[in-house]
Structure 1
Amino acid sequence: MTAQSLPSAETDFSRGAGPAGPLGARFNLSRVDLAVLGGLALLSVGLLFWATGNVVLAAGFLAGLAIAAGGALLARRLFPAAAAGEAALPDWTMLRVAVNHDDVAVAVTDRGGRLVCANDLFATWFGGFVTPPGLPVDARGAEALKNAGRTAWRDGEGVADDIAVGPLQLRAHIFRTGQAEDYLVWRFSANERIDLATEIVRHLDGPAGLTLAQAGVMAALVSAEGRLRSANRAFLLRALDEADQAHYVGRDVSAMLRLDEAGSLYFAREGDRATPVRMIQIPLAPADAHGPVLLAMLDEEIGPADRGTAQAYVETLLSLLPFGLALVDRDGRFLYMNRAFKRAGNVGEGRMPRYPGDLVVGEDKGPLADMIRRHSSGQQVGGDLSIRLVGQGDDPVSMRVVGVRGLGEAAVLLSLKDSSEESRLKRQVAQASKMQAVGQLAGGVAHDFNNILTAVLGSCDLMLMRHTPGDSDYDDIQQIRSNANRAASLTRQLLAFSRQQTLRPQILQLPDVISEVSHLLKRLIGDTVQLSVHHGRGLGPVRADPGQLEQVIINLAVNARDAMPGGGTLTIETYPVSAADVRQMGSEFMPPADYSALKVSDTGTGIPADVLPKIFEPFFTTKDVGKGTGLGLSTVYGIIKQSAGFIFADSKPGETSFTIYLPVHRAEHGAPATPTPVSKPKKSQWGTGTILLVEDEDMVRAVAERALARAGYTVVTASQGEEGLERFAGMEKVDLVVSDVVMPTMDGPAMVREMRKKRPALPVLFMSGYAEEQLRQSINIDDVAFLPKPFSVAQLAEAVSAALDNAAHRASNG
């Protein structure tokens, strides 16, 4: 794992000499130092003259000193990099290595708000190298980050809590640093999910505390200030009067105990006849932080023979606690581990490892053994060590090692934190961030492609109008148009994956959709593959785009066919899934509700386990080069997600299945039934009127202008929103505005709002390479038509004619 940095930011760091001037900076000497050296030189010359009386010798010595000083100064000026005391350029490779951390995300920004350096965990949590505080977090977290950044610039340090990134809760700590204090270091750490102190309080006040009391173990939870937070009945009976038991919280524990001259510990209330007790302290916070401590006290008998009984009491205590704890002797062998430790350490039932090193990978055995040896030889303070467990991949877990005394053979207490849930959430956030980033990229690429394809298709249509079948160029133009349409289908797949396509949902029954597409499936899968269809009873209706749902079934069927080159069986099933069934499934993603399920299975070779998690990623394919784009399953994934459904893949040798769950559509009481779409009469491709055409892409604007002028319209063009407003202000009559949505400086919706301030009923036709559903949220303008790119000349003419007809209809009814 390597930290990332932005090389260009390194040029912003200071490299110049200090304010002492060139000479002082080169030699690190002040003016006083230079004066002293000059005086010493003159004194030396005077002493030489006094001793020899030779004026020529003294003058020669003075000239030699001057030549030496001049030579040193000249060398310093010719070779400034070798000057002593010159500040060397900072070695930022050390910073890049230093910010690598598996639990803390780190980023460094300069005063100009530029990202200087960040580690890989930062990119994983936030979906890339995004500059703080502009991170993809919720609104409350974004405001907290901004305020914490301002506080850090002002006071040197700032803190922001409860920063939500999906399911991950983070805490941000920001520091101002640097020689000129012109950098901010942003540190993000995950909040602990288990409050150990709260869990212990709950157990001490419940049956677990009573069980310990019956076993003779006096247990208490003490705050960092030495105040009592909770205790079981055995501790309260020994430390306090019964009448005071209801008011013990917040009392000073040190006042309840006393030490005699021999170092024995007693309860102060019991006086001279008190029985000595042995106390075990279990810190619940890192060694360098003040936190609550769990105290376990046992009666100290006369001799050391009863220490085994004390150890048995402690083992009883450890078995009741909800977090993983184990005891190790001075030779590093396990004495005891509770169930939580076995579960966190992946220890099977009935199997007791001999050494802690048996639980970790080979590279971590040495550091763990050294740490246990160091704590068993007398070190009382605990320490944390990041280790990797055998059979649990490369995800590290945290093990805490604490030295204990007074438990016979037991010398070290190990605490193992089960971080599997946290690791799973990290992987889930990383996967979601990656899919979101790739989806945004795919949507942007599709938009640019749609502009290009609009110009290609429009040019082909215009050329075809000048040629007839049989001309030498006609077939070539048709071939270009066919290839452009194929490219347009690829952009639709990209929009489907990024969930930005325009869907036309209807109320459907899954068996009806399968029936419509079954004839096509039989031709696609060939004669060597047998198609088997089974429908369950009681299927609820679903709301989806029938065309897109058919595309999903076809894609899954074609993939199944390719997985069975020697033939096999393709099975399509539909069945209902109730909310109770979803709860029994224990899915982490599907909320309990009623679903209609569609399952597509095949008897092919199966999907390898290392490939299965990647199959829905775009451009990932296991097919040979030229035989697949890698967009089939990613398109399926996008369509199902955009339809509020879920899709899961399961594979084993000889059987692969894709199961789709679509929520059952419940019509609201009293809501009108969804009308069946009727085919509208085809609009004329000819018309009259004045059209203002605003489009920032020159090639698209030129094709649209020629197409509309050929259809009989008077066309006035503009290349951006401000120019469109100028053209509109100078035109006496505008029958329709045809505008792109996304344009630089002023977009289409902003331009139309300004125009409608003068003409509220102005007809508008928007065109864009983005999906209509995505743009409707940003357009938010009534009575506008939409034409998706890429479009042909005929589609543009029909859309303009329909927009003019609708405007005339509204005017006549108004």
Structure 2
Amino acid sequence: MIEQSNDAIYIIYESRFVLMNKRFTAITGITEEDTAKADFNFLDSVAVESKQLILDRAEMWERGEQPSSVYEFAIAKSNGECIQVQASVSQIDYENGKAYLGILRDITEYKELEAQLRQSQKMESIGRLAGGVAHDFNNILTVILGNLELAMLKLDPVDPLYKDLSEIEVAANRSADLTRQLLGFARQQTVAPKVLDLNIIITNMMNILNRLIGEDIELAWMPGENLWNVRIDPTQMDQILANMAVNARDAIDGVGKLTVETGNVSIDEDSGQKYPEPSTGEYVVTTVSDNGSGMEKYVLDNLFEPFFTTKDLGEGTGLGLATVFGIIKQNDGFIDVASEPGEGTTFKIHLPRFKGEAESAGSFKERGVANVGNETILIVEDELSILKLGVKLLTGLGYKVHAANSPKEAIQLSADSTTAFDLLITDVVMPEMNGKELAQQLLATNSGMKVLFMSGYTADVIAHHGILKDGLNFLQKPFSLIELSSNVRGILDS
């Protein structure tokens, strides 16, 4: 009966194992031959973090106290494997004295699932937090950045005030990046995926990456041949590469090397076993390697945790790699990491192969020249400060602009207008009706009108309103004058 049990059963009498079933050996790796040795000590098989717990319990038994009968600890097996067990120990009468009857249950898999659930709940909580503040924060940043750009356009770059405004712009853009990182980590970032050739995307990023890592670090680029396509928002790919480059830069002390490489890989059930999660299929792999300081195990274990950082206070948010992880998961991929202290680090980013023709994609946006025009535009926004800003920006670009502070007002404006609108720019989430419903109603009488949706809400909220579909034009707040003008011009010219 003891041998048929799924739990490990043992008896310790006078500090010796006098009984153990086969399951005890299967779970702990300890054999009867091991326990028969004169120098055998069970404590040697207990993981470092659990040794004190076992010692404390032994002292309680010796003092005649009754410790809790059920507890958990970790066992370090001789093969290097560490397992979590739940133990139930009670004192029994045995021969002429007292013995300890123990039952061990392997709960390693349960603990891993529990940790995954906690991580999932943590991500969900931060996602709710990020989503909750993103809308209001993005609206505020839109007004700040938009008015800053207008003010800077009126000044000569050599004006001392221009420099002051530039500092404010840098701070506001960092705030916008932080919001994007939070949403990226929480997998709520608004995306517009395209079929891409990563070799082209990474080639276009080389100058940016060189500037990010500095002159002391050599950047090697090794594009794979006949690379398969993937489907991802090009801006997200830029985010991944930028965060990986910064992470490598911070790991290299002085002179070093960063290597970026691409290739194709097919993972079957057998080869998929070495990866941390089920991952069979065809993938495009982007490998990012550095010869920096490498990482200890505790750092690797927490690497993708939000706000986890090894940097000094104020030197990092701890969101860079968490953002990378979130983006990759959002795109049905996975990331594999190998690192040893003093041996550098290698990240392998796996994105699913997409069988389709690659599209052209802009890369990292830098300040450029605004596109102008003279068409008629109707802008609808329930936030008055953003509406006023939109009117100023579009009017400054030469467009004839009609403004409405609500869908009802927009419908009335359209009905009263003798001029057809070339473009509708509308917020997505508004009182009375959402932007998509407004567009459908206005298109009934303005069939040639094109539509650009904008919002500061997160991807899940926008998707709920049916906006994030292929073929619909969308602009995420906060946006710059250049982004607004290029989107408007591109839609009107399409």
Same fold (TM over 0.5): yes
Matched-pair contact (CA < 8 Å) for 1:645–1:660? no
Matched-pair contact (CA < 8 Å) for 1:742–1:748? yes
| CA distance 1:400–1:391, change in 2 (3 Å) | closer
Residue by residue, what CA displacement relative to the aligned partner does 1:283-316 show, whole Å, maximum 9, x if unpaired?
A: xxxxxxxxxxxxxxxxxxxxxxxxxxxxxxxxxx
**One-letter amino acid of the structure 2 residue matched with residue 438 of structure 1:** I
Paired residue for 2:455?
A: 768
Paired residue for 2:194?
A: 505
Aligned with residue 622 of structure 1, among 295, 310, 326: 310
Paired residue for 1:341?
A: 24
Matched-pair contact (CA < 8 Å) for 1:649–1:659? yes
Matched-pair contact (CA < 8 Å) for 2:234–2:362? no
Matched-pair contact (CA < 8 Å) for 1:763–1:783? no
**One-letter amino acid of the structure 2 residue matched with residue 428 of structure 1:** Q
Aligned with residue 55 of structure 2, among 349, 352, 362: 362
**One-letter amino acid of the structure 2 residue matched with residue 623 of structure 1:** K
Q: How does 1:180-329 map to 2 (within 5 A)?
A: 317-319=1-3, 321=4, 323-328=6-11
**One-letter amino acid of the structure 2 residue matched with residue 703 of structure 1:** L
Q: Secondary structure at the match of 1:591?
A: coil
**One-letter amino acid of the structure 2 residue matched with residue 717 of structure 1:** A
Report the CA distance between 1:397 and its aligned residue. 1.6
Matched-pair contact (CA < 8 Å) for 2:229–2:358? no
Q: Distance in 2 between matches of 1:370 and 1:583?
A: 53
Paired residue for 1:595?
A: 283
Q: Distance in 2 between matches of 1:643 and 1:776?
A: 16
Residue by residue, what CA displacement relative to the aligned partner does 1:711-751 show, whole Å, maximum 9, x if unpaired?
A: 35242321x44555566666666625432112356433344
Paired residue for 1:743?
A: 430
Paired residue for 2:389?
A: 703
Matched-pair contact (CA < 8 Å) for 1:708–1:715? no
Matched-pair contact (CA < 8 Å) for 1:451–1:790? yes
Report the CA distance between 1:493 and its aligned residue. 3.1
Q: Secondary structure at the match of 1:779?
A: coil
Report the CA distance between 1:612 and its aligned residue. 2.4
Matched-pair contact (CA < 8 Å) for 2:380–2:426? yes
Paired residue for 1:778?
A: 465
Report the CA distance between 1:357 and its aligned residue. 9.6
Find out whether 1:647 has 2:335 as its counterpart: yes
Report the CA distance between 1:427 and its aligned residue. 0.5
| CA distance 1:419–1:476, change in 2 (3 Å) | closer
Residue by residue, what CA displacement relative to the aligned partner does 1:526-559 show, whole Å, maximum 9, x if unpaired?
A: 5654555667778644444555435433432332
User: What is the TM-score normalised by the length of structure 1?
Assistant: 0.49
Matched-pair contact (CA < 8 Å) for 1:532–1:570? yes
Aligned with residue 559 of structure 1, among 247, 267, 277: 247
Q: Distance in 2 between matches of 1:422 and 1:343?
A: 18
| CA RMSD in angstroms, aligned pairs only | 4.6
Residue by residue, what CA displacement relative to the aligned partner does 1:313-334 show, whole Å, maximum 9, x if unpaired?
A: xxxx533x26124253787964
**One-letter amino acid of the structure 2 residue matched with residue 702 of structure 1:** K
| CA distance 1:568–1:755, change in 2 (3 Å) | closer
**One-letter amino acid of the structure 1 residue matched with residue 197 of structure 2:** L
Q: Distance in 2 between matches of 1:754 and 1:553?
A: 42
Q: Distance in 2 between matches of 1:757 and 1:399?
A: 73
Matched-pair contact (CA < 8 Å) for 1:542–1:663? yes
Q: Secondary structure at the match of 1:649?
A: strand
Report the CA distance between 1:655 and its aligned residue. 1.7
Matched-pair contact (CA < 8 Å) for 1:435–1:617? no
Report the CA distance between 1:421 and its aligned residue. 0.9
Report the CA distance between 1:409 and its aligned residue. 11
**One-letter amino acid of the structure 2 residue matched with residue 740 of structure 1:** D
> Where do 5+ consecutive residues of structure 1 fail to align?
1-316, 375-383, 807-814
Paired residue for 2:49?
A: none
Paired residue for 2:147?
A: 459
Residue by residue, what CA displacement relative to the aligned partner does 1:405-456 show, whole Å, maximum 9, x if unpaired?
A: 9x99999864322111111100111112212322343344443332122112
**One-letter amino acid of the structure 2 residue matched with residue 418 of structure 1:** D
Aligned with residue 86 of structure 2, among 397, 405, 424: 397
Q: Distance in 1 between matches of 2:300 and 2:470?
A: 46
Q: Distance in 1 between matches of 2:64 and 2:416?
A: 83
Which piece of structure 1 moves more, 396-405 or 469-478? 396-405
Paired residue for 1:419?
A: 107
Matched-pair contact (CA < 8 Å) for 2:428–2:436? yes
**One-letter amino acid of the structure 2 residue matched with residue 362 of structure 1:** L
Q: Distance in 2 between matches of 1:655 and 1:451?
A: 45
Q: Distance in 2 between matches of 1:684 and 1:528?
A: 38
Matched-pair contact (CA < 8 Å) for 2:227–2:284? yes
| CA distance 1:465–1:580, change in 2 (3 Å) | closer
**One-letter amino acid of the structure 2 residue matched with residue 351 of structure 1:** D
Q: Distance in 1 between matches of 2:288 and 2:359?
A: 30
Q: Distance in 2 between matches of 1:348 and 1:584?
A: 32
Aligned with residue 385 of structure 1, among 69, 78, 81: 69
Report the CA distance between 1:337 and its aligned residue. 1.3
Q: Distance in 1 between matches of 2:479 and 2:175?
A: 13
Find out whether 1:578 has 2:266 as its counterpart: yes
Instruction: Name the % identity.
Output: 33
| CA distance 1:763–1:350, change in 2 (3 Å) | same
Matched-pair contact (CA < 8 Å) for 2:337–2:348? no
**One-letter amino acid of the structure 2 residue matched with residue 713 of structure 1:** K
Matched-pair contact (CA < 8 Å) for 2:87–2:102? no
Matched-pair contact (CA < 8 Å) for 1:386–1:396? no
> Where do 5+ consecutive residues of structure 2 fail to align?
47-52, 77-81, 364-368
**One-letter amino acid of the structure 1 residue matched with residue 151 of structure 2:** M
Matched-pair contact (CA < 8 Å) for 1:606–1:653? yes
| CA distance 1:791–1:349, change in 2 (3 Å) | farther
Q: Secondary structure at the match of 2:11?
A: strand
Report the CA distance between 1:628 and its aligned residue. 2.8
**One-letter amino acid of the structure 2 residue matched with residue 389 of structure 1:** F
Report the CA distance between 1:786 and its aligned residue. 2.2
Which is bigger in relative contact order (C-alpha 8 A, separation at least 6)?
A: 2
Find out whether 1:658 has 2:346 as its counterpart: yes
Residue by residue, what CA displacement relative to the aligned partner does 1:361-395 show, whole Å, maximum 9, x if unpaired?
A: 23444788999999xxxxxxxxx932123547997
Q: Distance in 2 between matches of 1:594 and 1:491?
A: 32
Which piece of structure 1 moves more, 361-370 or 622-631? 361-370
Paired residue for 1:789?
A: 477
